[in-house]
A and B are shown apart, each in its own frame.
Chain A
Amino acid sequence: MDATNGNGASPPGIGQRVDQVGRDAQTLIDDARTAVNEIQGRLDLRGRVDRNPYGTLLAAAGIGYLLGGGLFSPLTARVLRLGVKLAALPFVKDELLAMAHGAVDGFVSSAREREVQARAAPPSSSDPHRAV
């Protein structure tokens, strides 16, 4: 019996098949390399690292944290609360300083007023502290 397929051509041998698989693998590797290069060019990772090394590392760590499932965790809530407090600190400080200024000003002006009144008022005869 003749080892031909329907159209008369002989089927590829094992060597040809191995060659074909090798060529396909090479194409896949080339495609993957091109894709990686393209992604690297788009993201400009090297440029970002050159411009801001610590920021890029922090961003990478943040992405890893999210991928690790840390978004909805008590630690994230705690860090967010701390961040809100730190962000509100300057406003609170300004408010407290303004309140303290107001209190000190009020105390000083009332003391001055009392002093002026005490100087203006004549000593009365019914003053219990007055020596007889």
Chain B
Amino acid sequence: METSPQQLSERAREMQARIAPQLEEARENLIDLNQRAIAFIKERPGTCLLGALAFGFIVGKLASRRW
């Protein structure tokens, strides 16, 4: 079965039409997640900073260990 360039381009267009809404939804979800994360950090700056400090400390401790 042979596929002509026109058929190929049509198939690509169909795929794009099918994927575009999902991509848009994923983008909106990411934006929403980002806004929620920023709001959470701004609401509890001390907790978040202490958490980040502790996280960095643990990673530094693990990294400085001799394996």
Contact = CB atoms under 8 A, between A and B. Distances in A.
Interface string A51-73: 00110111011111111111111
Given A61-B52, A70-B59, 12 more contacts: A60-B49, A62-B56, A64-B55, A65-B57, A67-B53, A68-B57, A68-B58, A68-B59, A68-B64, A69-B60, A69-B64, A70-B63
Nearest to B61: A68
A27 interface: no
Contacts of A50: 42
A64 B54 contact: yes
Interface residues of A, number: 26
B59 to A, nearest CB: 6
B57 A64 contact: yes
Say what secondary structure dominates the interface of chain A. helix
Interface residues of B, number: 22
Contact of A66 (B38, B49, B60): B60
A1 interface: no
B20 interface: no
Interface string A63-88: 11111111111111000000000000
A17 interface: no
Contacts of A72: 64
Most chain B C-beta atoms within 10 Å of own C-beta, residue among A56, A58, A64: A64
A40 to B, nearest CB: 9
A49 B56 contact: no
